[in-house]
Amino acid sequence: MINAQGVSQEITGGPPNIPDNNILPFFFNTPAPTDAQFSQVALTFPELDLAIPTQFRQEPAGITQADLQSIVKNPNSVIQTDLAKSLQGTSMKSRTVLHISTTNSVIKGGGGTANTAFLTSSTNPEVGNARATQVEATFWIETIAGTGGQPDKLQLQYTQLVMLDFNGIHWPHVTVGTLVKQ
C-alpha cells in the first residue's frame, strides 16, 4: 500500500521537459550518484553493463546493445524518444502534469509506503527480499494536434521511481511508458 500525495498543473502549448533519470544503486549513508557518475558506479555494480551475459537476461529482438545501454543510463530516454516521434509534423496543444510522491518532496506531509509480505516478512520487517522506501511518479496527459484532418491524439506518458532497499544498498527501480488512446 502506498499513500502518495501530489500536485497537478495544466499547461497550454509546448511539450513537457521530461528530465533524465538513472537507476544507479548506492550504499546507505552515501549520496545518490549523478548521471555523470555512471561509469564509476558501473565499476562497483557490474549488473549495469548489459554486455556481460547472465543466465537471467537475453537481448530482446530488434534492440541493440547500444540501445540497452542508453536505456540503462537514462530510462526516461524511452519516453523522451516516444514524445519526439509523437510530435513529428505536429504540435502539443496542452498537457496536464501530475506529480506524486510518498516523501515531503512534493507536498509537506508527504505520504508513505507499506511493504507486502513478498518484500518484507510480516513477522520480522528486517528480513525478506527488500523494502520499498519511496515512490515518486510523474504523469503527463497530453493532447497532440491532429494532422491532415485527423482528430487530436490523447497520450499518457509516465515515469515512476520505486526505491528498493536491500543488503545495505538503495536500488532505484524505474518504470516508464507511453500510452496512446485508441
d(CA 160, CA 182): 23
CA dihedral 37, 43, 47, 52 (to 10 degrees): 120
* The predicted structure's pLDDT at residue 33: 94
For residue 56, what are the domain limits?
Answer: 22-73
* pLDDT given at position 169: 92
Provide the domain count of the chain.
Answer: 2
Cβ contacts of residue 44 below 8 Å, gap of 6+?
Answer: none
Residues 96 and 62 in one domain: no
- Same domain, residue pair 51 and 122: no
For residues 72 and 49, what is the distance between their CA atoms, to the nearest angstrom?
9
Same domain, 102 and 179: yes
Residue 106's pLDDT is 56
Number of CB atoms found within 10 A of residue 10's CB: 9
Residues 176 and 101 in one domain: yes
153, 105: one domain: yes
Give the pLDDT score at 26.
95
Same domain, yes or no: 158 and 143: yes
Q: For residue 83, is it within any domain? A: no
Is the same domain home to 99 and 166?
A: yes
Asked whether 161 and 76 are in contact (CB, 8 A), the reply is no
Residue 58 lies in a domain: yes
14 and 51 inside one domain:
no
> What backbone torsions phi and psi does residue 38 show, to the nearest 5 degrees?
-55, -55
| Coil, helix or strand at residue 127 | coil
9 plus 48 within the same structural domain: no
Cα–Cα distance, 116 to 130 (Å, whole number): 10
Q: Let me know: does 1 contact 113? Beta carbons within 8 Å.
A: yes
Predicted TM-score (pTM) of the model is 0.84
For residues 9 and 34, membership in a common domain is answered with no
Are residues 100 and 29 part of one domain? no
User: Tens place of pLDDT for every residue, the chain, 182 residues?
Assistant: 567 788 889 999 889 999 999 999 999 999 999 989 998 999 998 888 877 777 877 767 777 778 888 888 999 999 999 999 999 999 999 999 999 888 766 555 555 566 555 555 555 555 567 777 888 999 999 999 999 999 999 999 999 999 988 889 999 999 999 999 99
Q: Which residues contact 54 (CB under 8 A, 6 or more apart)?
A: none
Examine the domain organization and report whether 103 and 166 are in the same domain: yes
Q: What is the DSSP letter of 35?
A: G
